Amino acid sequence: MKVYDTVTAAIEDLRERGYTADFNLLFDCIQAHDSKVHPQDFKIVETYRFEGDTDPGDEAVVYAIETISGVKGVLMYGYGVYSEDISEDMIRKLGSK
């Protein structure tokens, strides 16, 4: 697995490697465009954690995701104080890698 200094570098490299969809996190699924994908319908291929040395708001995780239908994309999730409310299934899925 690669090591990146910044979230931007990780996302740019993943895009170059074919992870082109932008996934957004919803309560119980991820979404790209008008398509919702539930936890059982995608796998996390790679995970990169970034911790803010001085600002907890800089803490984030970048996920390289592939759906069972073959869509490859990136999900960036900020954790800590500003993290979003998500279902237990999504917590398990995102924490599994």
Matching residue, tokens 């690669």: 2
Q: List Cβ neighbours of 53 (8 Å cut-off, separation of 6 or more).
A: none
pLDDT attached to residue 33 = 87
Residue 81's pLDDT is what? 47
Return the structure tokens found at 9. 């570098």
Q: CA 25, CA 76: separation in Å to the nearest integer?
A: 8
Could you please report the per-residue DSSP string of 61-92? EEEEEEETTS-EEEEEEE-STTPPP--HHHHH
Domain residue ranges of the chain, discontinuous segments joined by +: 7-95
Q: What string of pLDDT tens digits covers the 97 residues of the chain?
A: 788 988 999 999 999 999 999 999 999 999 998 899 999 999 999 999 998 665 555 688 999 999 999 999 999 987 654 456 788 888 888 886 5
